[in-house]
A and B are shown apart, each in its own frame.
Chain A
Amino acid sequence: MLRAALPILLLFALWEAAVVGLAIDPFYLPSIRVVAAAMQAQSGFYLDAYLVTLAEAALGFAMGGLVGVASALLFTRLPMVKDMVLPIFIVSQTVPVIAFGAIVVLWFGNTLMAKAAIAFYLTFFPVTINTLAGIAAVDARQVALLRSFGAGQGAVMRKLLLPAALPRIFTALRLSASLALAGAIVGEWFGATRGVGAMLLAAMFNEQIVSLWASILVAAAVGGTLFAAVALAERAMVFWREEL
């Protein structure tokens, strides 16, 4: 925990030192004390944005992770379907899919569902691809060994393939956490009134630089929360990994 907090504190210290030492124009970078004071003065407002965006991103992220792993397991059972669908998934990683967020908002309107749906698909594709890659990397001899002891397909999946793929799954989840958040924020740009994205937009249009920096910090806090959740889950589930 301390190891994660240290660079952030250092960053804040650098920020303050730069503002005071270099006399930076507050239009570019206001003092962190001013930003913190603004956040404290309107703590209810910022807390609401934090919770709204966290709910959207976390819901989509959790669903995307679960459905992603489940579809990868399904594809492993149906290699024919996998060959047909996987290339489309991979191509989807090379096009700016976040732009589809616009269409999702048109479908669902300005609801929690719309942002969660964007976070969902931004999480779903990388998790599926990485889970499949993790399963593909499993030594075939290990599968053969388990089979020779009479393990069925389900047991091989539960006892070997899924645990072996877990490190790759968590790599994908860490990457997707910030994607899911970006999806939720961009989704809020299309007319939402609550949430970090809406706050960012309002601060930009009104040229309120302090409130803009405060919103960025709130976005970072949402991202940090998601990251921490993934890290905790990883520590609990991938307990055999040494470097953790």
Chain B
Amino acid sequence: MNRAAILRGILGAVLLIGAWEFCVRFFALPQWILPPPSGILATAWSGRAALLPAAAMTAYEALSGYAIGAVLGVGLAMLLALAAPLRAVLLPMVVAVNSIPVAAYAPLALLWFGTGALSKIIMVAFIVGFTVFLNALDGLTRVDPAAIALLRSFGAGRLRLLWTLRLPAALPSIATGLRISTVRAMIVTLVTEMLGSQLGLGWTIFQAVLLIDFLQVWAAILVASIISLLFFGVVSAIERRVVFWR
């Protein structure tokens, strides 16, 4: 992306927020239609005593689930990369399960693991695990056959192949899976929190909708978006460092 395009992007964002604030004030839009950006910021600031613990809980659930899911996803993919026949049977089933939206089985997690943090962490680990697994497996199995044949000819075994060839070759797709998973982890946390929890931004949003407190809904979404952006930014920065040759 060149400089002019970046500048236009910033201009676009500023124009959008400016137009939003202007329209709300000029047409005197009622709060339930659209609160002004300044009002949302003010609500978030004045309600920070309640929003911060909720945000901390949401971040804790999303990050723990993300870490567990990432390790499980890569580990399982490595196992299945070694076992081609098992892969042929399991993969279509994994894809079939993966096409059911999270929202459909989140209630199960709540029934099984209660309304505490555990149900959210397990849900996030599950979804992140799926995403990372599918991406990692794709990378691990899409290695140049000539490179495999070469290493084989030097007497490398399966494990050796996995460690010195498949894993480095799969790093870009694993990194992609990890990057996509950041946003999914946040979405799953929020969605599962909406179903029931003691603390968390998803719960704040759900409660605020029931109380028809529009500013609070917007403020909670703002905080959730900031966490999500930070999370995404940090993982992308690490990705650029680790997968430097991309």
Residues on A lying within 8 angstroms of B by beta carbon are: 6-8, 10-11, 14, 28, 80, 83-88, 91, 93-96, 98-100, 102-103, 105-107, 178-179, 181-182, 185-186, 189-190, 196-197, 200-201, 203-204, 207, 209, 212-213, 215-216, 219-220, 223-224, 227
Contacts and interface: CB of A to CB of B under 8 A. Distances in A.
A213 B111 CA distance: 12
A98 B99 contact: no
B190 A207 contact: no
Contact of B95 (A7, A189, A207): A7
Contacts, number: 141
Q: Is the interface of B mostly helix, strand, loop or mixed?
A: helix
Interface of B: 4-5, 8-13, 15-16, 32-33, 89, 92-93, 95-97, 99-105, 107-108, 110-112, 182-183, 186-187, 190-191, 194-196, 202, 205-206, 208-209, 212, 214, 217-218, 220-221, 224-225, 228-229, 232
Contact of B99 (A10, A88, A189, A223): A223
A224 B8 contact: no
A8 B101 CA distance: 16
A186 B106 CA distance: 11
A215 B112 CA distance: 16
Contact of B100 (A6, A94, A220): A220
B151 to A, nearest CB: 28
A203 B97 CA distance: 21
A88 B95 CA distance: 31
B235 to A, nearest CB: 10
A198 B128 CA distance: 26
A99 B190 contact: yes
A106 B225 CA distance: 20
Contacts of B187: 96, 98
Contact of A216 (B12, B100, B190, B228): B100
